[in-house]
């Protein structure tokens, strides 16, 4: 399926004035549900005619959200958003999860990291240049981690040297999600090699089509290539594309990383809840063998209880974010550890419960990128969650050293 084919599917008979109903919670929820149902029916019809790629699917879904004002609802109005309140963002996230809407995987950096960073640190020119393009399908990637600077990000060695009104960048980045589709990259590079390692870093907005940028996708154990390596050779970045002042990159990056918290994490927790419920419903319909095993039933109920507890923890995170609570510093690493371990344990259970048959079912999903839940696929992928966004070992160090005041070593 091509983008041109997707663009021909704009006609709909559903009343899509969702944002007119913000004053009435029930009407707002029902409008979202009606729109989601209509969008999914039209997409199912498209899938029956052709085989859309992941890229085309994501671009189609972004276009659908844009039509009803839900592409960037949490952004300020002057940059293309609608200033949606936190309460209404939560309702939207709940309904997206409930309706099993496509997650915005390709646009995580574009929708969350970019605005969170530019709103706090960007110039007005940078905001007006880049933010409106996201709702039109512009994909961004992140150039932070390096082969020798992942968990210890401040040890990065990619170098940016000032040359007139440009910086010349040389180095290598790794684990850059969706970079094979990205038009731009948020990049950390060392501008002062003699400064203390946190102080010598600067933050750039890099054009992925600039000469000297090479993207090499990384084949994962689940056969997908969500990540890539970036090789930067004499890449020239205008000085005007620096975010914040020279040497402030570490501080700016903390705004970027904090965007992974809040509503984005909350929606992920809601999606897991419905995934677990669908798994159980399917097992009951099919009279799965594991339901007759007392040990596996106990294990499932323990995991189900932890899913519900995690959902409450996400609400605690949102409350602390809204109230700027000093407890937020402790909640964030806790929920990162709890959530990633839970996903790993649940996908391991689901893989065992599905049995040998599930080992054969995985092939079609891996080859064709079929949307939906596949336990073995999810289990293989779950290990990345314990590393991405700060490894769980680093999170435990933060809790012990910074929150509990325990000595290092």
Residues marked active site are found at: 260
Which pair of structure tokens corresponds to residue 190? 């060392």
Rounded Cα distance, 278 and 261, in Å = 26
Contacts (Cβ under 8 Å, ≥6 apart) of 26: none
CB 112 within 8 A of CB 264: yes
Which pair of structure tokens corresponds to residue 217? 């996708």
The residue to which tokens 């419920």 are assigned: 277
Could you give the dihedral angle defined by the CA atoms of residues 399, 401, 403 and 406, in that order, rounded to the nearest 10 degrees? Answer: 110
| Residue 364, helix vs strand vs coil | helix
Beta bridge partners of 62: none
Count Cβ atoms within 10 A of the Cβ of residue 210 and give its class: 0-12 exposed, 13-18 middle, 19 or more buried: middle
CB 137 within 8 A of CB 3: no
CB 38 within 8 A of CB 14: yes
Contacts (Cβ under 8 Å, ≥6 apart) of 34: 14, 15
Could you give the dihedral angle defined by the CA atoms of residues 90, 66, 16 and 370, in that order, rounded to the nearest 10 degrees? Answer: -80
Q: Which helix (H) or strand (E) holds 236?
A: strand 227-238
Phi and psi torsions of 82, nearest 5°:
-130, 10
Which residue stretches of 287-327 are H helix? 294-323
Phi and psi torsions of 24, nearest 5°:
-125, 105
Q: Which helix (H) or strand (E) holds 266?
A: helix 263-286
Which residue stretches of 78-203 are H helix? 86-98, 108, 114-121, 124-134
Nearest to 179 by CA among 214, 148, 149: 214
CA atoms within 13 A on the CB side of 133: 13
């Amino acid at each position: 399926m091509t983008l041109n084919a997707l663009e021909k599917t704009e006609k709909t008979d559903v009343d899509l004035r969702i944002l007119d109903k913000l004053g009435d919670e029930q009407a707002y929820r029902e409008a979202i549900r009606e729109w989601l149902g209509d969008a999914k029916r039209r997409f199912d019809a498209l899938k029956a005619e052709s085989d859309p790629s992941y890229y085309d699917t994501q671009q189609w879904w972004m276009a659908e959200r844009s039509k009803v004002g839900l592409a960037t609802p949490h952004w300020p109005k002057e940059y293309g958003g609608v200033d949606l309140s936190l309460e209404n963002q939560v309702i939207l996230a709940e309904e997206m999860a409930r309706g099993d809407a496509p997650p915005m995987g390709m646009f995580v950096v574009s929708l969350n990291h970019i605005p969170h960073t530019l709103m706090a640190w960007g110039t007005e020119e940078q905001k007006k240049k880049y933010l409106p393009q996201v709702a039109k399908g512009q994909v961004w990637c992140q150039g932070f981690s390096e082969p020798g600077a992942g968990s210890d990000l401040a040890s990065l060695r990619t170098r940016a040297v000032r040359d007139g009104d440009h910086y010349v960048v040389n180095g290598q980045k790794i684990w850059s999600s969706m970079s094979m589709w990205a038009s731009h990259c948020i990049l950390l590079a060392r501008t002062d090699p003699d400064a203390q390692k946190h102080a010598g870093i600067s933050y750039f907005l890099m054009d992925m089509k600039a000469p000297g940028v090479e993207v090499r996708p990384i084949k994962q154990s689940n056969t997908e290539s969500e990540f890539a390596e970036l090789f930067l050779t004499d890449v020239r970045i205008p000085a005007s594309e620096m975010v914040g002042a020279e040497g402030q990159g570490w501080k700016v990056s903390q705004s970027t990383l904090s965007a992974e918290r809040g509503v984005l994490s909350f929606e992920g927790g809601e999606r897991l809840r419905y995934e677990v419920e669908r798994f159980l419903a399917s097992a009951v319909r099919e009279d799965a063998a594991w339901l007759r095993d007392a040990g596996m039933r106990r294990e499932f109920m323990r995991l189900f209880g932890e899913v519900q507890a995690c959902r409450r923890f996400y609400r605690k995170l949102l409350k602390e974010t809204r109230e700027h609570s000093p407890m937020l510093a402790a909640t964030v690493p806790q929920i990162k550890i709890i959530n990633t371990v839970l996903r790993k344990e649940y996908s391991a259970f689901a893989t065992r419960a599905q049995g040998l048959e599930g080992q054969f079912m995985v092939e079609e999903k891996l080859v064709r990128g079929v949307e939906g839940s596949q336990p073995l696929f999810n289990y293989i992928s779950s290990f990345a969650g314990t590393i991405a966004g700060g490894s769980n070992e680093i999170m435990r160090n933060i809790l012990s050293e910074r929150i509990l005041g325990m000595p290092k070593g």
